[in-house]
Amino acid sequence: MTAARLTAALAWSALRTQPGRSLVAALAIAVGIALGLAIHLINHSAVAEFSRAVASLAGEADLSLRGRMPEDVFAALAGDPDVAVASPQLELRVNLPGRREPLTVLGLDPFRAAALAPQLVGRPVEAPDGGRGPAGGGLALLEPDVVFLSPAALEWLGLAPGDRLPVQVGVATRELRVAGSLPAVGAGRRLGVMDIAGAQWTLDHPGLLTRIDLRLRPGADPAALRARWADRLPAGTRFETPGESGERGANVSRAYRVNLSVLALVALFTGAFLVFSTQVLSLLRRRPQLALLRVLGLTRGGLFALVLAEGAVLGLAGSVAGAAGGIAIAALSLRLLGGDLGGGYFNGIVPALSVSPGAVAGFVALGVAASLAGCLVPAWSAARARPAAALKAGDEETAMARVRSPWTGLACFAAAGALLSAGPVDELPLPGYAAVACLLVGGLALMPWLTARLLTLIPDAWARRPVAGLALTQLREAPGYAGIGLAGVLASFSLMAAMAIMVASFRVSLADWLDHVLPAQLYLRVGGGGETGFLAPADQEAIAATPGVARADFLRSRALSLDPRRPDVLLLARAITRDRPAARLPLVGDPVPVPRDAVPVWVSEAVVDLYGVRAGDAWTLPLGGQGLPVVVAGVWRDYARQHGAVAMAMEDYRRATGDARVNDVAIWLAEGADPGRVQAALRERLGAGEGLSFVEAGELRRISLDIFDRSFAVTYLLEVVAVGVGLAGIAVSFGGQALARLREFGMLRHLGFRRRDVDALLALEGALLSAIGVAAGLGLGWLISQVLIRVINPQSFHWTMDTAVPWPLLLAVSAVLVALATLTSVVAGRRALSVGAVRAVKEDW
């Protein structure tokens, strides 16, 4: 009891005497916890909302058939003796003029949906005058131009029952009547519901279904039904239970989520490191005091517990603050960015924040654990120290002897190499991340040894001048201090450099790629994210015949489901000639010759990774009912679609599907034609207002790079945080060192050093140390960037890139870091020296 209280009192006083250091360490942990918890909460909320949406769509169905299919499948399935209710659906992402994001509209048969998912059957709202209501009254449910909107959709669109909703169909705008709402659809789901016949007709998707929900007769076996129908279903459709659908939602965003979480772990790791450095320096400073306590009867275990208790207090304070911050960040992000942090995985889902106490407790525990881990080594070494030796002055260095051996660091590097040769685990680049951690730890462990080696390289001539000589001697003879100070610089700067190199490489590769995929001057897009915007054959002819258009390349893109457990890939049909595919696609490697009678397709790198096909393989695409046999003729790089894309020649696509519609047009202008005039002429011919979007190649390129920069904004933010935390770490280390060297500075003053000379000494030490740290950080950062570029990126996002090092940025940041570190060491030293030379010398006696 008394021992515990004594431990607590001592721990508290230790933390209080170094408030700055404690604060920074706790802050770093707080940042890590806040980011980690925020990412977890945002994703958890989004997945929960997604699952609710999936559950509400499926209602009480036992089984759903999903995928694009002709409506005959419905008649056949509904007639199966095991099927009690079959509810056909047509789900379309409907383009809204003037809005980027489409609205998901479900066409269904209210008679059949009422049995399975009554919440999806609209409630007509009577007109206030009691007369012919907004939808003309009760038969409203079946009217072809009537839509019922969920509360979230009404709010998003700023509409009320009775209003009109303009939608884009082809290049025309049609008006739907909002006849009422869907009060029982979850608050976070933007959804419209129409009659299925109205959806097929008004939204111009005749004969198409995307889903059939089934309720089976009592006693019927879903597995038997699946097996019975397995061979009779059109290519690209599959059965799914409601559970399987929900699972897919969680999988979609997994890679993205894991990558963000790893960034949060980096911050947490930095926190643990700062706790470590704080505790090492604090223990060095308190060495005599602690030795005295040991002599007075404090046991080794007691001392160990004391140091750990200090760490626990730091960790708890940081974690609790971080948890609060994390919840705030999550709430704000959900409001501003939506549930996928801008990743685009949960279309139409507007999740409400759901905070699970378990997750919060878990993250707090994680923060405390990280802090305790940072304390373990210092606590262990403090507890092992022999009190008699520790009581003497000048003993500090021996405590650090342990970290001077290079073997730990080299072992870590070897481990990193071993990890890199392993493939991804469960499709996540976990070994890659572990390798980064190993490289980082290895780099830190190597630092004291490396510093000592580097310092011996400095010519002796430099050491003749008194100040420089002293600085060098100090650094050479006492590399323990230096190592700790360096570690902060190294950890933060190497991560920052790695990220910078990766992002720059990505951006340069992306810019090259954009040049390749945007060969024309003008691009016309109909219906960005939706499915109801398209150009019919007549529109295409009109475009090609417009004066000023030298050539028009049409592109059809549509989702294709190759594997029910994965997100859809994008099918791109465009003018590709089988002999010169490289004219349209940024091919990676050489194209493979394809037999004349085979249908060639070119797949993106993601398709190779995810579906295991290689150039030259025979393959089947779920097109045209029976499935279309194709041959993989080549692999191309695609930064736009991480779930994969398959390109094929337009004529092959049309032959297989009969679908003559297109979404995008690349337009080459005639010599001397004015892009503005051509746009105006095209608009006039097509007669579409907001539904058509024109963009010039340069603009499209700029927009793409802007989107790139925006999506890496989180990364930039984390970089700044890492560098800031690293700098704070330097300040802490140098301040601590200066305090520990009070006696030395006092003695120097007695020997005739001016205050200026001490400043110069400290500045030189700081500059040398940070220069070494930055140089090592650059090297380590380059190593880590290669892991990011060659391992983690291809494994997470399935694309490759070429390394490009942003030298100006790195050199500028290096210079700033060295300057800041120099300044920091001087300021820290001055503060420490303010106690006066006499007292400083006296302290030792």
* Site residues for another protein per CB under 8 A: 71, 74-75, 78-79, 88, 109-112, 114, 121, 123-124, 131-133, 136-139, 141-144, 195-198, 200-201, 206-207
Which of 106/774 has CB closer to another protein? 106
Q: CA 546 to CA 552: how far, in whole Å?
A: 10
Pick between residue 172 and residue 518 the one whose CB is nearest to another protein: 172
- Quick one: 133 or 729, whose CB is closer to another protein? 133
**Shortest Å distance, C-beta 126 to another protein:** 10
- Nearest residue (CB) to another protein, 8 versus 197: 197
Nearer CB in complex with another protein: 103/196: 196
Shortest spacing between CB 127 and another protein, in angstroms: 11
Task: Give the count of beta carbons closer than 10 Å to the beta carbon of residue 754.
Answer: 10
In eight-state DSSP terms, residue 788 is: I
> Taking the CB of residue 839, how many other CB atoms lie within 10 A of it?
10
| Beta strands in 468-542, from DSSP E residues, in sequence order | 522-526
Of the chain, the end-to-end C-alpha distance in Å amounts to 35
Nearest distance from C-beta of residue 65 to another protein, angstroms: 15
- β-pairing, 569-574 vs 645-649, is parallel
**Are the beta carbons of 225 and 136 closer than 8 angstroms?**
no
Smallest gap from residue 75 Cβ to another protein (A) = 4
Q: Considering the complex, what minimum distance in angstroms separates the CB of residue 125 from another protein?
A: 12
Burial class (CB in 10 A: 0-12, 13-18, 19+), 359: middle
Total residue count of the chain as it appears in this document: 845
Q: What is the DSSP letter of 234?
A: P
Distance CA 201, CA 464 (A): 91
Could you give phi then psi for residue 642, rounded to 5 degrees? -75, -15
Least distance CB 625 / another protein (angstroms): 17
For residue 704, the number of C-alpha atoms closer than 13 Å in the C-beta half-sphere is 23
Nearer to another protein, 124 or 591 (CB): 124
Q: Residue 79 or residue 547: which is nearer to another protein going by CB? A: 79
Considering the complex, state which of residue 76 and residue 458 has its C-beta at the smaller distance from another protein.
76
Q: How far is the CB of 142 from another protein (least distance, A)?
A: 4
To the nearest whole angstrom, how small is the minimum distance from the Cβ of residue 532 to another protein?
Answer: 15
| Amino acid symbol at 303 | L
Q: Is 143 helix (H, G, I), strand (E, B) or coil?
A: coil
Q: Are strands 172-181 and 146-149 parallel, antiparallel or unpaired?
A: parallel
19 vs 823: CA distance, rounded Å: 21
| Residue with Cβ nearer another protein (95 or 200) | 200
Closer residue to another protein in complex, CB, 89/737: 89
CB of 88 to another protein, least distance (A): 7
Per-position DSSP letters for 561-629, written without gaps between them: -S-TTSPPEEEEEE---SS-GGGTS-EESPPPP--TTS-EEEEEHHHHHHH---TT-EEEE--TTT-EE
Residue 59, phi-psi category: left (phi > 0), alpha (psi -120 to 50), beta (remainder) = left
Alpha carbons 614 and 561: distance in angstroms, whole number: 19
- If the CB atoms of residues 36 and 192 are measured against another protein, the closer one turns out to be 192
Name the amino acid, one letter, at 62. D
Q: H helices of 616-712, where?
A: 650-657, 675-686, 697-711
